[in-house]
């Protein structure tokens, strides 16, 4: 389904395939109906014509039963759809009895249920009448016509019985053949359809591959730059320190800067290592019960200097009652997620506030990192958690980064039973929310609880 959603052109192919099949079904059905009607008409017309010719010849030979039977047998043999041919005549009583018959009822038989057929034939002696009926699933046609004497008075009635079994068999056979052709067509269409789908699949993959290649290229140039700049800072301050002619308080400041750059390097190398660990499925989690508030204060402490340097108001917003709240996560991985989010919030905020908050709602702990920074468009938010993605904005030009932090954060959060979401307005700020199930004390083992 997702594949269909991502490749709307496939709907078109499916629709065309369906239209072809439906058209074929419709045409097959129409042909079967036309063939059926034509067959019926032909059978009736033929029966009518036979009887019309027959009745003209018969009055003279009506008395000659042998010759009559001969003629009737000839008609019967020449017409495979005719099952029986019977002549009815009235004798002393008024009843119409079988006078002579080929393959029909015995002579002298009275057929009460034929009376209405006789009535039609007698009312209009110049025409043949056909009636349709079904016997044990087979359609049958009964055609009757009156035989008149010279004065035009009906003296006998000839009745031809025709079964449609053979014709129906033929039609069923044709329909069956059409169904087989339809099935073959279906198979061909399915093959074409899946081939088409695979081509689209390859095209999509190729497009994705190109995107990944492009992102990888920019990642490599970015990563080398990212690695180089803290290294040159470290080397620069080491050169200063090597001079020896540095005041004590300056020394301390230089060492602090070296420490900050070394930490930056460590984080970067860790991110790169995490990417390969995630790609190879080698990342391991050691879950434990962690007091969220303690980690928030930790991370707050880590970034307060940086926030101060940028003159940002950086606060924790967590009511007293949630200070003891615990969740079950891998502590260092959870901290890593918080570090990523807070470091981004500070990085992408030029003025205003960054807030690290938490609350508990319906047994879910929400950790919110909110900033009044550059924000993100809806389009950017959709791609935000993909590998190497970095939003291109004027406001963040010159801000260094690899586009890996959020991708890693999402991966580790989801692998610790959590979720991450973002709400953002371009130019106003962003809110990143981590959600984890609340740990409820009495259900769990005290020994397992740390921090």
Instruction: Choose the binding region for ligand ADP from 99-107, 176-184, 191-199, 394-402 (rule: CB under 6 A).
Output: 394-402
User: Which one of the spans 54-62, 176-184, 247-255, 397-405 is the region binding ligand ADP (CB under 6 A)?
Assistant: 397-405
Q: Using the rule CB under 6 A, which residue among 401, 413, 420, 439 binds ligand ADP?
A: 401
- Structure token pair of residue 27: 């045409």
Contact 285, 330 (CB under 8 A): yes
Both structure tokens of 83: 């099952």
Among 295, 338, 374, 412, binds ligand ADP (CB under 6 A): 374
Nearer Cβ to ligand ADP, position 261 or 430?
Answer: 430
Q: What is the DSSP string of 193-222?
A: HHHHHHHHHHHHHHHHHHHHHHHHHHHHHH
In this chain, which of 104, 230, 357, 373 binds ligand ADP, going by CB under 6 A?
373
| Helix, coil or strand: residue 50 | helix
Segment lying near ligand ADP (by CB under 6 A), choices 130-138, 202-210, 250-258, 370-378: 370-378
Tell me the Ramachandran region of residue 417: left when phi exceeds 0, alpha when psi lies from -120 to 50, beta otherwise. Answer: left
Residue 216 φ then ψ, to 5°: -65, -45
Cα–Cα distances (Å) from 395 to 19, 229, 348, 354, in that order, read 52, 21, 8, 17
C-beta separation of 345 from 385 below 8 A: no
Q: Which stretch binds ligand ADP (CB under 6 A): 105-113, 245-253, 296-304, 387-395?
A: 387-395
Whole-number minimum distance, CB 304 to ligand ADP, in Å? 17
Is 357 near ligand ADP (CB under 6 A)? Answer: no
Interface with ligand ADP, residue 254, by CB under 6 A: no
Asked if residue 314 binds ligand ADP (CB under 6 A), the reply is: no
Minimum distance from residue 216 beta carbon to ligand ADP (Å): 14
Please give the residue whose beta carbon sits closest to ligand ADP in the complex: 401
Determine if 390 is a binding residue for ligand ADP (CB under 6 A): yes
Under the binding rule (CB under 6 A), the answer on residue 348 touching ligand ADP is yes
230 interacts with ligand ADP by CB under 6 A: no
How many Cα neighbours within 13 Å face the side chain of 252? 2
> Is 76 near ligand ADP (CB under 6 A)?
no
Does 405 engage in binding with ligand ADP (CB under 6 A)? yes
Q: To the nearest whole angstrom, how small is the minimum distance from the Cβ of residue 305 to ligand ADP?
A: 19
Residue pair 328/367 in contact (Cβ under 8 Å)? The answer is: no
366-387 burial, b for 16+ CB within 10 Å, e for fewer?
bbbbbbbbbbbeeebbeebbeb
Q: Which is nearer to ligand ADP, 104 or 405 (CB)?
A: 405
Give CA separation, 338 vs 221, 262, 291, 328, 329, in Å.
26, 20, 14, 15, 13
Residues 188-227 that bind ligand ADP (CB under 6 A): none
Q: Which of 396, 417, 426, 433 binds ligand ADP (CB under 6 A)?
A: 396
Q: Is 376 in the site for ligand ADP (CB under 6 A)?
A: yes
Q: With b meaning 16 or more CB within 10 Å and e meaning fewer, what string describes 218-242?
A: ebeebbeebeeebeebbeebeeeee
**Contacting ligand ADP (CB under 6 A), which of 68, 258, 358, 404?**
404
Q: How far is the CB of 370 from ligand ADP (least distance, A)?
A: 9
Cα–Cα distances (Å) from 230 to 17, 242, 260, 408, in that order, read: 60, 18, 9, 22
* CA 103/CA 43 separation, integer angstroms: 19
Q: Measured from the CB of residue 390, what is the shortest distance to ligand ADP in angstroms? A: 3
**Where does this chain bind ligand ADP (CB under 6 A)?**
340, 344-345, 348, 371, 373-376, 384, 389-391, 396, 401-407, 430
């Amino acid at each position: 389904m997702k594949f269909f959603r991502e490749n709307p052109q496939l709907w078109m192919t499916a629709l065309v395939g369906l239209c072809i099949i439906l058209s074929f079904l419709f045409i097959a059905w129409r042909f079967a109906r036309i063939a059926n009607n034509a067959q019926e008409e032909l059978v009736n017309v033929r029966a009518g014509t036979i009887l019309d010719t027959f009745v003209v010849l018969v009055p003279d030979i009506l008395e000659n039963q042998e010759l009559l039977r001969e003629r009737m047998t000839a008609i019967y043999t020449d017409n495979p759809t005719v099952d029986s041919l019977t002549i009815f005549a009235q004798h002393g009583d008024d009843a119409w009895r079988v006078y002579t018959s080929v393959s029909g009822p015995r002579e002298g038989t009275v057929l009460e249920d034929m009376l209405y057929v006789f009535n039609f034939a007698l009312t209009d002696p110049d025409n043949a009448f056909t009636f349709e009926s079904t016997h044990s699933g087979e359609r049958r046609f009964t055609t009757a016509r009156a035989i008149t004497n010279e004065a035009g008075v009906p003296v006998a009635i000839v009745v031809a019985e025709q079964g449609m079994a053979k014709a129906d068999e033929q039609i069923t056979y044709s329909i069956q053949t059409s169904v087989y052709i339809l099935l073959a067509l279906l198979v061909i269409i399915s093959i074409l359809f899946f081939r088409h789908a695979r081509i689209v699949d390859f095209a999509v993959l190729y497009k994705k591959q190109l995107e990944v290649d492009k992102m990888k290229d920019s990642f490599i140039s970015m990563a080398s730059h990212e690695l180089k700049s803290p290294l040159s800072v470290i080397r620069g301050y080491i050169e200063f320190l090597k001079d020896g002619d540095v005041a004590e308080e300056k020394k301390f400041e230089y060492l602090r800067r070296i420490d900050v750059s070394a930490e930056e390097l460590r984080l970067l190398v860790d991110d790169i290592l995490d990417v390969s660990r995630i790609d190879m499925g080698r990342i391991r989690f050691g879950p434990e019960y962690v007091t969220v508030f303690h980690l928030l204060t930790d991370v707050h402490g880590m970034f307060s200097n940086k926030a101060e340097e940028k003159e940002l108001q950086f606060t924790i917003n967590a009511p007293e009652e949630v200070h003891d709240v615990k969740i079950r996560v891998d502590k260092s991985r959870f901290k890593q997620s918080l570090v990523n989010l807070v470091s981004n919030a500070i990085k992408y905020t030029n003025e205003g506030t960054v807030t690290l908050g938490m609350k508990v709602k319906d047994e879910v702990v929400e950790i919110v990192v909110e900033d009044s920074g550059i924000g993100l468009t809806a389009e950017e938010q959709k791609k935000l958690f993909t590998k190497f993605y970095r939003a291109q904005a004027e406001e963040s030009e010159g801000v260094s980064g690899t586009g890996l932090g959020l991708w890693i954060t999402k991966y580790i959060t989801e692998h610790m039973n959590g979720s991450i979401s973002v709400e953002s307005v371009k130019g106003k700020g962003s809110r990143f929310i981590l959600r984890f199930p609340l740990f409820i004390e009495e259900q769990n083992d005290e020994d397992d609880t740390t921090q």
